[in-house]
Structure 1
C-alpha cells in the first residue's frame, strides 16, 4: 500500500510541475496561430482586394469652433 501511495505522490508532484508549462505551451501555440492567420489575411488584402471602409468610430474628430 505504501508503494502505491508513493507512486501517487510522485505523479501528483509531476502534474503540479508540468501543468503550468503545458498550459503555457498551448497558449503560445494558440497566439502564434492567430498571428499567422492575421498575417495571411493582411497579405491577401494587399494582393487585390479593395481597402475596407473606415469605421466612424476610428475617424479623427475635429473640435467644434461654435461658441
Structure 2
C-alpha cells in the first residue's frame, strides 16, 4: 500500500466517522420514540382489558386546580 492509497483510506474513514456522528442522534431518537410508542400501546391495551371505563370526569377538582395554581405562583415568585 503506497502513500496515496493510505491517504485515501484515512480520508474515507474520517468521512464515515463524521457520518456516523451525524446520524447517531437521529437513530437514537427514532429508537426511543418507538420504545415509548410501544409502552403507550401496551399500557392502553392493559387499561382496556383490565379496567372498565368509569363515568367520572378525569378533570381535576377545583381544589386541586387552585392548589396547583398557588404552588406555581409560589415557585415563580421565589
Could you tell me which of 4, 8, 15 is aligned with 2:13?
8
1:17 maps to 22
Show structure 1 runs of 5+ residues with no match: 48-67
Q: Which runs of 4+ in 1 moved over 4 A?
A: none
Deviations 1:15-54 (A, max 9, x none): 010000000000000000000000000110236xxxxxxx
3-state SS of the aligned residue for 2:51? helix
- Please give the TM-score of this superposition, normalised by the length of structure 2: 0.57
Select 2:45's aligned residue among 11, 33, 40: 40
RMSD (Å) for aligned C-alpha atoms:
1.0
TM-score, normalised to structure 1, is 0.66
Q: How many residues align?
A: 47
Higher relative contact order (CA 8 A, sep 6+): 1
